[in-house]
Amino acid sequence: MIATLSGVVAEKLQELVVLDVQGVGYGLYVTPEDYGHLTVGQRQKIYIYEYLRENVHELYGFIALDTKHLFEQLLSVNGVGPRMALSVLSIGTVHEVRQAIANGEIKYLQSAAGVGRRVAERVVVDLKDKVGLVGADLTGSGVLTAKSLLLKDEAVEALVSLGYTTQDAARALEHVDAELSTEQRIKEALRGAV
């Protein structure tokens, strides 16, 4: 397994950066942010994520270990492959993407090429508490949104994992007693949907 590569940036192609390591050119997929920071002729250490499949061997490079860590977190989400994870990282800085996940900004995540609503919702549900940022506390600001409440509701999360959109899950739970256990609320919501 390749963990890091140190060498000279030899070329910047359309979607790849070629890193020359003692005469061997490694083609690396990088985020747009990293692409902008890399200069041809510059010596650079790059953290590597190696993607191996039957007919595929791709290398993904990251200047910062933190970026690689977020990339790997995105890969842990069902339905997100390396190209889609890189696409999510292309919509803003690593901090902005982390903040968007922590705050449940589905529309922002959907702005990444190839990311649909369902995948964006899965990213938020799976990573919201893992990205290392605290979501915006909307209660104190008087801007408590239904969306922020829904993202904390385990019944909504369960229905979303069953294929519901966040809005459909909210509608299904609308007339279900909030005092019931999460499991009972889910059962009642599913009964009402039949």
Q: What is the pLDDT of residue 148?
A: 41
- Sorted by sequence, the CB contacts under 8 Å of residue 107 that are 6+ apart come out as 120
Residue 15 tokens read as: 């979607």
Give CA–CA dist 166/99, Å, rounded. 19
Query: In CATH, what number does 1-63 get?
Result: 2.40.50.140
* Closest C-alpha to 159, from 147, 170, 174: 170
What is the architecture of the domain spanning 64-136? Orthogonal Bundle (1.10)
What are the residue ranges of CATH 1.10.150.20 in the chain?
64-136
What is the location of CATH 2.40.50.140 in the chain? 1-63
List where CATH 1.10.8 sits in the chain: 146-193
Instruction: Identify the pLDDT of residue 63.
Output: 94
Q: What is the pTM of this model?
A: 0.66
Residue 169's pLDDT is what?
76
Q: Could you tell me which CATH number the domain at 146-193 has? A: 1.10.8
Question: Phi and psi for 97 in degrees, rounded to 5?
Answer: -65, -45
Ordered per-residue pLDDT tens for the chain, 194 residues: 899 999 999 999 988 999 999 999 999 999 988 999 999 999 999 999 999 988 889 999 999 998 999 999 999 999 899 999 999 999 988 888 998 998 889 999 999 988 999 999 999 999 988 886 544 443 333 333 444 444 456 777 777 777 777 777 777 877 787 778 888 888 888 887 65
> Distances from the Cα of 10 to the Cαs of 22, 59, 62, in angstroms?
11, 16, 16
Q: pLDDT tens-digit profile of 142-192?
A: 333 444 444 456 777 777 777 777 777 777 877 787 778 888 888 888 887
